[in-house]
Every structure is written in C-alpha cells, then in structure tokens.
C-alpha cells in the first residue's frame, strides 16, 4: 500500500517538476521518504542487479553495458547518466515502474556513486559489481582515495555473485578479500604495451591495500588502442575490434569491463552484436562537446580531476588559437593544478569563475601568459565570441561552468537526455 502511495505521489511530484523544468532528484527523494524500501521492492524484484561504480567512467561503462545487453534483446532497467545517488535511482524507478510497483525488465544495470554505494547497497544488494577504477578524485569530498576504497569495499562485501575489475589496479584486486563465500573475482587485463603507449597510464590511485594475487585468467585483455578503436582479446584468444565513443585509454578500459560483464550476463553472447552496439553509442556528454554562441564555437574540455583532465588535455595536440578557462566553486580546491602537465598550452586568453585568480597564479609560475580575467561566464563568452579567429575556443571548464555555458548557448536538455 505504501509502495503504491510512494509511486503515485512521486510521479505527481515528477510531473510537476518536469512541467516547471526542474531537477530530477526531488520525486525520488520524496518517494523514498514515503517508502524507504522502494529500491529493494522494485529494482530488487528484477532477476539480476548490476552495480557499476568507481572514480571515473561510471556513466560510460554503464551506458556500454546497457547497450551491449539491449543488443542481445534483453530488457534493461537503468538510471540516466549521473543520476547515481539514491534519490536519482528512485526517480529513475518512478519513470518506469508500474502503479503496482513492478519494472518490466530482465536485468537492472545501475550507475552508483562511489560515496553512496554503502547506502544504496544497504537497501539493494547487487548480484554483480563492476568497479571501473580508483583514482585520486574529489579530495575535498573524500579526503583521500583510501576512504573511497573502503566505501567500495563495503559494496563488494554485499555483492552476491561477481566482482569485475581491471587486474592492473592492485587496490581493486584487493577488494576480493572482502567477497562473501560463493562470490568470485573476475578480471580484465591491459597489456604493458597499451599502458606504456599512454603517457599518463591508468592513473590508478597508489594506495597500500592488502595485496591479492589473482590466479584467474583474465576474461578479456585490452591488446591495443588506436584513436577511438580498441582491440580486445577474449579468453579463447580471438581478437575483436571495438569502436569507442571517444579517443583514449580510459574509454577502451571502460569498454573492456563492460564487454566482460556483458559476456557474463548474456546466455549466447555475440561479439558482433555487442561491438555494433558500442560503435553506435553517441559521444559521452560534455566530453569534447562543441557548443555555439554568437556564431563562435566553444570546444569544452572538462576539468573534473587531475587524471581525467590530464587525459582530456592530451586531446590538444597543438597550441590552440584561443583558450578560455572557466572554473568556479564546483572545484572547491584547485590545488592539484600544480600536478598538471599543460602540454602545448602557452597562453590563456580569458579566465572566468571564482577560481580565476588561483588559476592565474598557477599559470604565472608555468610561464603561461594570461589575457584578462572576466569573472562572469556570459560576459566572457561575449568577449571571446568577439575575438578574431576561426578555430573553436578551447574551453577548459568544470562541470558547473559547462552546465552554465550550455544554458547560455541555448542547450536546455538535462544530462542523460531524459
């Protein structure tokens, strides 16, 4: 009865929120207050539940796994990219659930925020857990990666069947010590050649967890990455060419993990279907996206944390014509800038946002010239649009500034598209 009430009220709030163009988390929050077991009694009733968590690549890996499963005819329940907190999951349930509380799905694949994993898994225990990576990320939120590792370990402890990780991340392998009896570790591998070909490697957090020596053969091995294409070898030694949604080692590792999980979850796995599905995935939201304002293109380079920004900066191979940096309180502590290799960036035309002067200080020590500081995002875009030049403005932005820029450019859709 309370489940139905939670669904009815949650949906009502959802309709009102959508009519006002509001956010997607409130309906889920309200539904969970009315019925705290919402996730367990809806998603938990689906035969198989998969969690995808980790520092980076959660949305990409989840999207890839969902695409591969759907390509095999499975009905998949999932949450929109980034809606990975309990209320976001509950809101996703409200969008799809019947009034009696059932979800028409064969499998649930959920992107789960690493910090909320313990809470979500206390309400809904996963059958399978995929951990993308553990990187130094959001130190202002977590303090240190050891704390994130501990939170992921709690989820691993509650996982019923399998844990899938990249065996080149020793800290993630050590999660196997926490698996319950009957649950097993599955790994993917990345060859030395692939790691060495990428200057910043896997950027795995270097923490001292109890070592775990894995005797199992890797389910899949990432053998080569060439631009937006990966070569992955399966356990029978067959090699498969996989198209990626973007260039970079991280996308290739995400794909290897997603395909390994798909291979496990599909009865008659077809590499052809899975790789076709992955090759049709759109570019990941906000990564390398170009928006247009006043006739000028702005290419967005995300500044989330050191490892991901370093990877994103690698895409800049020659000195850009115009460079804009827009960073605000979404990055409370930009100290890690001093660990950054700026590559071919020798000048920044405009600095924007509340962290502009911290950036200016950093750039001064690196000998990078700075044009001007324009604190306001829209004024900066107006100024940059008036600058001469034909190339898109290389725009190094954090998530909050990216959302603001997209709104100013007239792009009103929410992340995840629905």
Partner 1 sequence: MSITLVRLLPDTLNLNGSLGNAEVLATRMRWWGVDVTVTDVNRGDKLGDAPDLVVIGHGTSSMVTPAGAELDRWRDTLRGWAESGTHWFGAGLGGDLLGESVALDATAPRTPGLGLTEVHTALRANRASTEVSGLDYRGREVAGYLNDAALRETSDAAPLLSFLPVPNDTWQGGNGEQGEGVHSERLWATAVSGPFLALNPHVADDIIASVFAGRGIPLPELTEAHSRVDSAAETARAWIRSRLGGA
Q: How big is the site for partner 1, counted in residues (CB under 8 A)?
A: 28
Q: Cα separation of 217 and 235, whole Å? A: 8
Please answer whether residues 130 and 151 qualify as being in contact, where contact means their C-beta atoms are separated by less than 8 angstroms.
no
Q: Cα separation of 35 and 13, whole Å? A: 15
Kindly state whether residue 360 participates in binding partner 1, applying the rule CB under 8 A: yes
Q: Within 158-217, which residues bind partner 1 (CB under 8 A)?
A: 205, 207-209
Backbone angles phi, psi at 291, to 5 degrees: -115, 155
Q: Considering only residues 141, 180, 379, 407, which one is a binding residue for partner 1 as defined by CB under 8 A?
A: 141
- Candidates 8, 21, 3; CA nearest to 413 is 21
Kindly state whether residue 145 participates in binding partner 1, applying the rule CB under 8 A: yes
Minimum CB separation from partner 1 for residue 137, in Å? 11
Kindly state whether residue 376 participates in binding partner 1, applying the rule CB under 8 A: no
Backbone angles phi, psi at 343, to 5 degrees: 60, -130
> Which DSSP state fits 17?
H
From 14-22, 240-248, 326-334, 379-387, give the range in contact with partner 1 by CB under 8 A. 326-334
Q: Phi-psi bin for 82: left (phi > 0), alpha (psi -120 to 50), beta?
A: left
Minimum CB separation from partner 1 for residue 175, in Å? 15
Q: Considering only residues 40, 96, 106, 146, which one is a binding residue for partner 1 as defined by CB under 8 A?
A: 146
Nearer to partner 1, 66 or 202 (CB): 202
Q: Considering only residues 292, 354, 376, 389, which one is a binding residue for partner 1 as defined by CB under 8 A?
A: 354
Please answer whether residues 132 and 257 qualify as being in contact, where contact means their C-beta atoms are separated by less than 8 angstroms.
yes
Q: What SS3 class is residue 2?
A: helix
Question: How many Å separate Cα 215 from the centre of its chain?
Answer: 29
Q: Cα separation of 151 and 350, whole Å? A: 39
Binding mask 100-139 for partner 1 (x = CB under 8 A): ------------------------------------x--x
Minimum CB separation from partner 1 for residue 136, in Å? 7
Q: Considering only residues 144, 226, 341, 391, which one is a binding residue for partner 1 as defined by CB under 8 A?
A: 144
Nearer to partner 1, 224 or 375 (CB): 375
Q: Cα separation of 97 and 186, whole Å? A: 32
Q: What SS3 class is residue 161?
A: coil
From 29-37, 140-148, 178-186, 216-224, give the range in contact with partner 1 by CB under 8 A. 140-148
Residue listed under structure tokens 């804009």: 324
Nearer to partner 1, 216 or 329 (CB): 329
Nearer to partner 1, 110 or 306 (CB): 306
- Candidates 109, 120, 117, 118; CA nearest to 54 is 117
From 192-200, 273-281, 350-358, 382-390, give the range in contact with partner 1 by CB under 8 A. 350-358
Give the residues lining the site for partner 1 (CB under 8 A).
Answer: 136, 139-141, 143-146, 205, 207-209, 329, 332-333, 335-339, 354, 357-358, 360-362, 364-365
């Amino acid at each position: 009865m309370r489940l139905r009430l939670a669904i009815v009220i949650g949906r009502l709030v959802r309709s009102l929120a959508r009519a006002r163009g509001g956010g997607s988390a409130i309906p889920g929050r309200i539904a969970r207050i009315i019925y705290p077991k919402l996730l367990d009694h809806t998603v938990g009733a689906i035969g198989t539940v998969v969690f995808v968590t980790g520092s980076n690549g959660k949305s990409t890996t989840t999207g890839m796994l969902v695409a591969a499963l759907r390509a095999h005819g499975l009905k998949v329940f999932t949450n929109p990219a980034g809606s990975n907190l309990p209320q976001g999951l509950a809101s996703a349930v409200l969008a799809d659930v019947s009034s009696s509380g059932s979800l028409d799905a064969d499998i649930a694949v959920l992107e789960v925020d690493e910090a909320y994993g313990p809470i979500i898994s206390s309400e809904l225990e996963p059958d399978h857990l995929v951990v993308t990576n553990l990187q130094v990320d959001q130190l202002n939120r977590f303090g240190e990666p050891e704390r994130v590792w501990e939170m992921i370990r709690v989820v691993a402890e509650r996982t019923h069947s399998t844990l899938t990780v990249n065996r080149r991340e020793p800290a993630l392998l050590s999660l196997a010590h926490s698996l319950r009896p009957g649950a097993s570790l599955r790994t993917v591998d990345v060859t030395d050649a692939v790691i060495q070909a990428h200057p910043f490697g896997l950027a795995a957090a270097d923490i001292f967890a109890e070592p775990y020596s894995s005797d199992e053969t890797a389910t899949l091995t990432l053998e080569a990455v060439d631009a937006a294409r990966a070569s992955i070898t399966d356990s029978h030694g067959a090699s498969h060419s996989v198209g990626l949604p973007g260039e970079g080692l991280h996308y290739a590792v995400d794909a290897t993990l997603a395909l390994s999980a798909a291979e496990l979850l599909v009865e008659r796995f077809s590499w052809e279907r899975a790789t076709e599905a992955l090759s049709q995935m759109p570019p990941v939201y906000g990564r390398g996206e170009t928006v247009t304002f006043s006739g000028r293109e702005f290419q967005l380079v995300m500044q989330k944390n050191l490892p991901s920004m370093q990877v994103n900066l690698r895409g800049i191979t020659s000195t850009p014509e115009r460079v804009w940096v827009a960073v605000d309180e979404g990055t409370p502590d930009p100290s890690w800038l001093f660990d950054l290799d700026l590559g071919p960036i020798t000048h920044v035309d405009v600095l924007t946002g509340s962290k502009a002067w911290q950036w200016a200080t950093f750039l001064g020590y690196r000998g990078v010239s700075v044009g001007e500081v324009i604190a306001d995002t829209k004024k900066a875009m107006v100024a940059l649009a008036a600058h001469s030049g034909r190339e898109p403005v290389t725009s190094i932005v954090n998530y909050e500034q990216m959302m603001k820029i997209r709104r100013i450019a007239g792009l009103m859709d929410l992340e995840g598209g629905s």
